[in-house]
Amino acid sequence: MRTILTLALMLSIQQVIAQADVIRKSSMSVAEPSDITSWPGKENFLVLADKAFLYEYAPDGTQIKSHSFESLDVEAITCSDKYCYVSEETLQRIHVLDVVTLNEIHAVQWHHGGGRNEGVEALVWLEESRNLLASTEKDPQFFTLFNEAVQPLFSFRVEGINEVSALTYYGGHVYVLSDEQATIYKLSKDLKKVEMQWSVPMINPEGLVFQQGEKVIVLSDDAAQWVELKLNKP
């Protein structure tokens, strides 16, 4: 396993903890939704399901259409202005799709030294730096930064993050969702520490994406629910 460069610093101030409130929730017809991401150039979202299906969803949670591709145990999706990146956890691959047609261009194998079912759990595209950020789930949890061609640059840890189920990017910050902790973490812009965190009143939160007005959408895997949350100020 590659040497992990520890960028985490001990927090000099106490982390701020707040509560996320449920605004609205609705049932989804998708079995085991894994992740959700914004779709560049469109107002709709893309929802990823475990059995290698992509679903287009309207902002109100209405399913529009589906798109399938060949893969196993997909966990995460994120899109740039050119590509959509989809992680396949079991075989430790990242699929690169055309952002417009959603047709697969190629897949990149990335073995980080974990077990067969310990590949990339979460992905997010960082538009300003034009890099791809990935995270394993746990045991061990760590982040890896890739370039646009999915070539790994370096790996690191963040103090206080031990389990990850989803990532998203908003307002220049990376937000981390933890399934086991039912918590959303806001990272500093340099990715070195947790700046704030919210307790999420949900079971099995999986996907995470922002809507306008500081509202977030979180998917529930087991319950197959679309949940809209407000991140309250402390």
pLDDT tens digit sequence for 146-172:
999 999 999 999 999 999 999 999 999
Handedness of CA 70, 216, 206, 164 (dihedral sign): positive
> 50, 34 in Cβ contact below 8 A?
yes
Is CATH 3.30.1950.10 what the domain over 16-231 is classified as, yes or no? no
Residue 23 confidence (pLDDT): 94
pLDDT tens digit sequence for 1-53:
344 443 333 333 345 689 999 999 999 988 889 999 999 989 999 999 877 78
In eight-state DSSP terms, residue 204 is S
Distance separating alpha carbons of residues 25 and 217, to the nearest angstrom: 9
| Pick from 27, 96, 85: nearest CA to 57 | 27
Nearest 5°: the CA angle 167, 137, 116 is 130
Distance separating alpha carbons of residues 221 and 168, to the nearest angstrom: 17
Domain spans in the chain, listed from the N-terminal domain onward = 16-231
Tokens of 169: 């990017």
What is the model's pTM?
0.90
pLDDT tens digit sequence for 108-124:
998 876 655 568 999 99
pLDDT tens digit sequence for 176-234:
999 999 999 999 999 999 999 999 999 889 999 999 777 999 999 888 999 999 999 87
Mean pLDDT of the chain: 88
Residue 113 confidence (pLDDT): 67
Residue 161 confidence (pLDDT): 95
